[in-house]
Structure 1
Amino acid sequence: MLRVVLAEDAVLLRAGLVELLTRVGHEVTAAVGDAEELARAVDTDRPDVVITDVRMPPGFRDEGLRAALDLRGRYPDLPVLVLSQYVATAYATDLLSGGSTTAAGLGYLLKDRVGDVTDFLDALDRVAGGQTVIDPEVVRVLLQQRTAGEPLRRLTPREREVLALMAEGFNNQAIAQRLTITEASVVKHSSNIFMKLELDPAEGNRRVLAVLAHLRREQLP
């Protein structure tokens, strides 16, 4: 069971998430509608994980994300899962940059992912367990836009598959399971990717951040 603080201004979605989380055995200690209430709830309840929308009142810009970053600054071990209505790679990178030196989990998912209950709950568990989770649609858009560019075109099709899963936050073991290959093969492909893209072969959040930063750079005209 996880103790969850939820911040979502859309009343129906907030109620639906509370019902879902409660049904699977988690405790929602607070369900709030703006960033200020989120901060107060975390200070009071000290939850196991926070779920927050990016855009929150009063400005409906990135108040939820900024609140999450502020909370991570005050509680470095606090896992945070951020939900977004749109593909916005800058938000994902900001989130990871703000917490890449800690071991606590971080996640950035599109709200559409909530509709796939299994994927959403898996992502929540992974974040609460200290892993990094990036929505596959964010990664897909970046790769689709730049697969013909340098140096991504130097990657083999298999290396692109490994890169996509790496950017989503999966470790070598999980990548091997999803691609039905050995973990040794994943290590070999990863080494080739790091070499071709000149990336830091660090583990965890720093590895994901390096991949996202590279993909964003390649996205620029």
Structure 2
Amino acid sequence: MSSFSFSIDGMEIEATSGQTIMDAADEAGIYIPRLCDHEGLRHQGSCRVCTVKANGRSVSACTQPAEPGLQVENESPHISKLRRDLVEMLFHEGNHLCPICEASGNCELQAMAYRLDMTAPTKFPYLEPCRPLDASHPDIALDTNRCISCGRCIRASQDVDGKGVFGYVGRGIHRHVAANGPNLAETNAEVTDFAMSEEVCPVGCIIRKREGFKTPIGEREFDKGLIGDKINGKRNG
């Protein structure tokens, strides 16, 4: 594979043909915020939190191919404000009650808000949707009030588990994830599926029963540092 260089915030990094901007940035140790993207899953580019400027044009870093000589802007006041607004809208579109959520401290949406200095949403009206809770399965519950339509569970179920348990229903702001059946219990979902693992859902939408609040405060993933920080040599988020 041919290699080339391009720059992110003035820093020259190496890339190979076929890599996205995010792929190359990750290899170079440069963090680009993301919510819908996850290692091992195909890129989707739906959350737009990974938006960067590439030669002056706004693109999603997880889907935009890296190119020789590309000038990428990742950390700037303009980009940070854009990302903060996007994250704030996700909070306003759902029902995210962080103090009582099982995912608090392990939630990527919550952690991203802290990284972007968004501690109290203020700009947009709360939509306060009323979405169903599916607790029919003996081991898994689905609370779509917390869904941010990242699609990670859909791709994990389709591409890794080979099942297709989840899919989108609704349009626009009413779109959310639902089980591919009358309810979750009437699908072939299993708690051991990769789609049900703690690392796939970035919020508290997919709930593994009998495991709530199992990690003490201070030992949760994002109690240890900001999302995107390197902790013990590993990339956080």
Q: Find the structure with the greater CA-based Rg.
A: 2
| Same fold, judged at TM 0.5 (above) | no
Answer 1 or 2: which has greater helix percent: 1
Q: Which bracket does the TM-score occupy, shorter chain normalised?
A: under 0.3
Using CA pairs below 8 Å that are at least 6 residues apart, which structure has the higher relative contact order? 2
